């Protein structure tokens, strides 16, 4: 019974993060926001992708340790966020995309091969 409650709790949390992200994107005008609040959609996007990937990894790879799943989810979630940040300040080039993709693949490889002590 506890697993059903936790699963529903995770799905509700994920739905609320996506709802907050879409509400923020559709209801705010970035030109009228203070600079500090411009980071909010990137944080919400990272959180939404992280929770989605973590949920999928937990569902399809239950034997993988929680630390490795978290690291893999963070790498995958960080990739689009970092690319969007670079794109939003007009600093994104193909070399940047290749370098970030290579680093993400390296971190994912490291996460699957490393042994983490609890």
pLDDT tens-digit readout, 59-76: 999 898 888 889 889 988
Does a structural domain hold residue 25? yes
Q: Span 11-39, mean pLDDT?
A: 93
CB count in 10 Å sphere of residue 29: 6
Q: What is the pLDDT of residue 21?
A: 95
Does a structural domain hold residue 61? yes
Does a structural domain hold residue 89? yes
The count of structural domains within the chain is 1
* CB contact at 8 A, 49 and 77: yes
For the chain, the straight-line distance linking the first and the last C-alpha, in angstroms and rounded, comes to: 27
Does a structural domain hold residue 55? yes
User: Model confidence over 28-53: pLDDT tens digits?
Assistant: 998 999 989 999 999 999 999 999 99
| Cα distance between residue 48 and residue 81, in whole Å | 11
Does a structural domain hold residue 118? no
Range of the domain at 52: 2-113
């Amino acid at each position: 019974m506890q697993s059903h409650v936790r699963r529903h709790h995770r799905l509700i949390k994920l739905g609320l993060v996506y709802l907050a992200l879409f509400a923020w994107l559709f209801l705010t005008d970035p030109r009228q926001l203070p600079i500090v609040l411009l980071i909010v959609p990137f944080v919400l996007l990272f959180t939404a992708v992280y929770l989605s990937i973590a949920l999928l990894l937990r569902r399809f790879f239950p034997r993988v340790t929680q630390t490795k799943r978290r690291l893999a989810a963070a790498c995958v979630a960080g990739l689009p966020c970092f690319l969007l940040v670079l794109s939003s300040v007009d600093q994104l080039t193909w070399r940047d995309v290749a370098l970030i993709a290579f680093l993400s693949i390296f971190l994912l490889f490291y996460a699957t091969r490393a042994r983490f002590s609890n």
